Structure 1
Amino acid sequence: MLTIQSNVSLKSYNTFGIDATARYLVEVDNDEDIQTLLQLPDVQTLPKLILGGGSNLLLTQDFNGLVVKINIKGIRTVKEDQENVWVRVGAGENWHEFVLYCVERGLAGLENLSLIPGTVGAAPMQNIGAYGVEIKDTFERLEAVHILTGQKRVFTNEECRFGYRDSVFKNELKGEYIICNVQFKLQKTPVFHVSYGDIQKTLDQMGVKELNIKAISDAVIKIRRSKLPDPVEIGNAGSFFKNPEISVMQYEHLKLMYPEIPGYVINNEVVKVPAGWLIEQCGWKGKRFGSIGVHARQALVLVNYGGGKGTEIKQLAEKIQSSVEEQFGIRLHTEVNFI
């Protein structure tokens, strides 16, 4: 049974804890609810905001339309062979809890993506990634409902056009589909990814003798908790900016002026530079401006200490972008979506 609420505070629906108001809000528990909802004449004319865990958005104003909160649950094995297991997951499942579900059952491929906030349905939209692994590496397909027609469609890995924190759902199909479920192809025999970041160092500190996916998951959780604030304690959306990719020539030029600048070569053509390092060099790390600021341990994270406005965080982000561009000639782009 669908219940559409009016004038709902979205403070508890976004990890920044921004107290914006939705004109209408409805929670959906299955695909049929979505299709029924989209057939309602009054709903068809309203602007819509599809909401998962609210961990990748910044509310800069009230939303004068319908917020659709996706609560579709369920995890089931679709098929398996000697090497792989295919798992289908409801879009409303908590991402980290799903990763732990896989780790506990020895299903490899997602362990490096432990403790990333949000829901399963939002993961392919952003092509979430961490520590050398991205969603696209294990993603097989998803089912989505077209908002205008109510028709279901299957998207394959190729059709999602995954890029760095990017997909077709952030570009030409932005705002056109509601993701209902996602299917992953996971491995019974793991391929370990421990060279990125501090994973190997943390594993050594933990005294891990025999490598396994639970140890990697535990190490990633330990690293993330040491660097990133808990949204329950301090409002944030994790990494606010993407790590920029620049040409090898530009990187070499910057290295002459800043010998300590870190970078990771990709395909011998481009270099990924940590956005957090650039922001820190510009003096933003740990800066506080009233109710908002830049986190003291991770310059990549903008925070709401309580009572901050989305417009204030947006203005801070723009100032950071300008200062980084002025000093390094690099334009930072946001991971977070502005509403």
Structure 2
Amino acid sequence: MLVEKNVSLQPYNTFGIVARAHALVRVRQPDDLLAVAELLAAQRRQIALSPRQRVAPELEPLVLGGGSNIVLTGDVRKLVLKIEIPGRRLVSEDEHGYLIEAGAGEKWHDFVAWTLEQGWPGLENLALIPGTVGAAPVQNIGAYGVELQDRFHSLDAIDLWTGQPLRLNASQCAFGYRDSVFKHHPPHLPDVAGRDSPSSPTLLAAGMGLAGRAVITRVRFWLPKPWKPVLGYADLERQMQTSGIHQPDARQIFDWVVEVRQQKLPNPQEIGNAGSFFKNPTVSPEQCDDIIAREPRIVHYPMPDGSIKLAAGWLIDACGWKGKSMGQAGVYPRQALVLVNLGKGEHSATGGEVMTLAKAIQTSVYERYGIRLEPEPVVV
């Protein structure tokens, strides 16, 4: 395991924020994580922690994939694990579907494009989402009517507490809206011989948190046959009407999604950003009716559980934030849901400026609508 010192993280976060890692390890194969686990075990021994106790927060590594869902507010003193595990393959195929696998370091969009090139449709609605394959289950990414959990089969990970491999199914990942078991910290466990270990199927099935503990190495997806298009979103409906194509194939949907996202969202290589900055909030039907009475044009979608999802971008725009800025952090003029870095290089926005702007937006939306917006990116 090679530990690099004093590494610039500006190229590794899509916001382009200036920050440095005191120590960074490039994880190019699962075995690299075994060396990290040994290092953490040595640190636990130094501070007399039980193997079943949580590592102190300052000792937890920071897992970094594509850096598309993170806001750095300063230099990172934690050990940064830069996940670069490659690989794509068809695991199996039968009359019901395709089982495919990718390394955690693969770029998500490139992987989606590759599946279509092989003739394996099913991920096309998730085109052009930034980040890596390994980060996709953490966030349970989703777009245009499809979430990762809809196509997920299983994943492999390494338990940094024990060095043991894990294989988790969808239930054990505890997927929710932009949520999973990987975003929650595990509880403190009693160190009692013979009880369930932190890696036991019993605890994992109960949705025990894995943040700071398990690192994803490979992810598998199940793409069912026969393929069925998902076209419920207004943007795709407009694409059908404009093109005159009412029975698109998977490649056509892929192209439409790319076109729509490129029109709405800035390219991180040109304007630093982390994509959608806030989650779309959900409210009760009664709350939605109250808002509609005041704002008849509010964009909203009924959910299967009876709640109503509101478009966070619409709420932010209605509060007058589109195109506004604080320091070098701004709200993208074409999509109020996206915060952007208006600076470049050493003069880029700081993480503090980004979060100051985000908090001002949250306050504005809450004061007007009584709704608390929750950020999507991880703030470090």
Deviations 1:190-247 (A, max 9, x none): 1111121311211332443641000000000000000000000000000000000000
Which residue of structure 2 lines up, in the alignment, with residue 20 of structure 1? Answer: 19
CA distance in 2, matches of 1:9, 1:42: 27
SS at match of 1:222: helix
Whether 1:135 and 2:148 are equivalent positions in the alignment is yes
Structure 2: runs of 5 or more not aligned: 45-58, 185-208
Which residue of structure 1 lines up, in the alignment, with residue 259 of structure 2? Answer: 222
Whether 1:184 and 2:229 are equivalent positions in the alignment is no
Whether 1:202 and 2:231 are equivalent positions in the alignment is no
CA distance in 1, matches of 2:127, 2:40: 41
Whether 1:59 and 2:58 are equivalent positions in the alignment is no
Which residue of structure 1 lines up, in the alignment, with residue 304 of structure 2? Answer: 267
Which residue of structure 2 lines up, in the alignment, with residue 327 of structure 1? Answer: 368
Q: How does 1:57-206 map to 2 (within 5 A)?
A: 57-171=70-184, 172-206=209-243
Whether 1:314 and 2:355 are equivalent positions in the alignment is yes
Q: TM-score, normalised by structure 1?
A: 0.96
Whether 1:252 and 2:286 are equivalent positions in the alignment is no
| Conserved 8 A contact 1:84-1:186 | yes
Which residue of structure 2 lines up, in the alignment, with residue 282 of structure 1? Answer: 319
RMSD (Å) for aligned C-alpha atoms: 1.4
SS at match of 2:111: helix
1:44: Cα distance to partner?
A: 4.3
Deviations 1:29-52 (A, max 9, x none): 111111123213697464310110
SS at match of 2:234: coil
Task: Choose 1 or 2 for highest CA Rg.
Answer: 2
CA distance in 2, matches of 1:14, 1:40: 25
Give aligned-pair identity as a percent.
Answer: 48
Letter in 2 for 1:124: P
After superposition, the Cα gap between the structure-2 partners of 1:268 and 1:69, relative to the gap in structure 1 and judged at 3 Å, is: closer
| Conserved 8 A contact 1:107-1:188 | no
SS at match of 2:119: coil
Deviations 1:41-65 (A, max 9, x none): 6974643101100000000111112
CA distance in 1, matches of 2:253, 2:226: 14
| Conserved 8 A contact 2:112-2:126 | yes
Larger mean CA deviation between 174-183 and 42-51 belongs to 42-51
SS at match of 2:356: helix
1:26: Cα distance to partner?
A: 1.2
Moved over 6 A (4+): none
CA distance in 1, matches of 2:376, 2:249: 31
After superposition, the Cα gap between the structure-2 partners of 1:261 and 1:209, relative to the gap in structure 1 and judged at 3 Å, is: closer
Report how many residues are paired: 338
After superposition, the Cα gap between the structure-2 partners of 1:259 and 1:276, relative to the gap in structure 1 and judged at 3 Å, is: same
Deviations 1:51-94 (A, max 9, x none): 10000000011111211101001011111101201011100000
| Conserved 8 A contact 2:278-2:312 | yes
1:287: Cα distance to partner?
A: 0.7
Q: How does 1:225-244 map to 2 (within 5 A)?
A: 225-244=262-281
| Conserved 8 A contact 1:38-1:44 | no
